[in-house]
Amino acid sequence: MKILLDENLPRKLVAALRAEGHEVESIHTLRLQGLENGKLYEFARDSFDLCFTRDVGFANNVRQGAPPSRLKLRRVTVQQKPQDEFVLDFIAVFRASDWTQFRHGDDWPHSSDDAS
C-alpha cells in the first residue's frame, strides 16, 4: 500500500509503516512543508492509496468533493501522546483496521461521534 503522511503526524511513523511493508512518504520526507491543502490533495490523489492527516479542515473539505478513484484520505483520531507511544498505538490500530469499512474522508480509527 502506498501511504502519504501529512506534516502534522510524527516523523517516526514513516519508518514504522515502512517496517510493516508499505511504501510510505511524508510531507517531511518529500520536503513539501507548508504546501496548501488543495495542492497537497492534488499531489496525493493519483499517487497514493492512503493519506493520513490530523487536520479537521482538510478532511472536511475532502468529504465535500467526489471521491477519487484511488486515494482514501483519513483524519487520524488516535489520541495524541508522546511520539513513541503515539506511533505504537497508530501501528496497533492500523494492523487491526478493516479498510473496507471506511469511506474517503472518514475519521480513523473512529468518527468523532463515537470517539472515546
The CATH number assigned to the domain holding 22 equals 3.40.50
Residue 116 domain flag: no
* Phi, psi (rounded to 5 degrees) for 108: -145, 135
Q: How far is CA 80 from CA 33, 48, 69, 85, in A?
A: 21, 25, 31, 9
Domain count, the chain: 1
Give the global pTM: 0.90
Residue 115 domain flag: no
Is the pLDDT confidence value at 114 over 80?
no
pLDDT tens-digit readout, 68-94: 888 999 999 999 999 999 999 999 999
Residue 97 domain flag: yes
Instruction: Give the rounded percent of residues in the chain with a pLDDT score beyond 90.
Output: 68
Q: 104 lies in which domain range?
A: 2-108
Residue 14 domain flag: yes
Residue 114 domain flag: no
Is the pLDDT confidence value at 2 over 90?
yes
Residue 57 domain flag: yes
